[in-house]
Amino acid sequence: MGKKCLSVPADLMARIYALCEDEDDLIAIMATVSAELFQAVEGFDWVGFYRVVAPNLLKVGPYQGGHGCLVIPFDQGVCGAAARYKTIQLVDDVDGFEGHIACSSSTKSELVIPCFNQSGHLLGVLDIDSDQPHFFTWQDADQLDQMLRQLFQNVSS
């Protein structure tokens, strides 16, 4: 299957910005983003956040979809890689990612984006799973990254 030419719809981004306007609570923003992205985009089969709760440790935050694992050390999984390297992880085929953590056997591709406040403090990561291979584009990743930086800028470290 060829890569889907998916870009996150502009109206969805606008709705999320409006819902989160002037919000600085981490969990409120995470819950809103998870719900809106999951509901709006076919092919986003799991959407959620993992929070940095201690040095080199992530714990599950708000999410939509089937059961997500609760704890991810920075040295494990796609989420751990995003947190460890503080870089976007766009995985076209999860079976090709060494150490991928399969919360669902149906997941085929994954996008994980680190989340920062305006001080550059790592707050957590946004994790999106798809049951379709090669589902995500770098356009999706860049648009979501920009949105997350805007939304989380005033969240305290």
Footprint of ligand SME on this chain (CB under 6 A)?
46, 68-69, 72, 77-80, 100-101, 103, 110, 127, 129
Length of the chain: 157
**Closer CB to ligand SME, 51 or 100, in the complex:** 100
Tell me the residue number closest to ligand SME, measured at CB. Answer: 77
Q: How far is the CB of 137 from ligand SME (least distance, A)?
A: 19
Q: Which is nearer to ligand SME, 9 or 66 (CB)?
A: 66
Q: Which of 25/95 has CB closer to ligand SME? A: 95
Report the nearest approach of ligand SME to the CB of residue 60 (Å): 8
- Cα atoms in the Cβ-side hemisphere of radius 13 Å centred on 72: 28
In angstroms, what is the minimal distance from the CB of 116 to ligand SME? Answer: 18
- Least distance (Å) between residue 119 CB and ligand SME: 25
- Which tokens sit at 115? 């989340």
Cα–Cα distance measured from residue 130 to residue 94, given in angstroms and rounded to the nearest whole number: 10
User: Which of the 8 DSSP states describes residue 6?
Assistant: -
DSSP string, 77-124: HHHHHHHHHTS-EEES-GGGSTT---SSTT--EEEEEEEE-TT--EEE
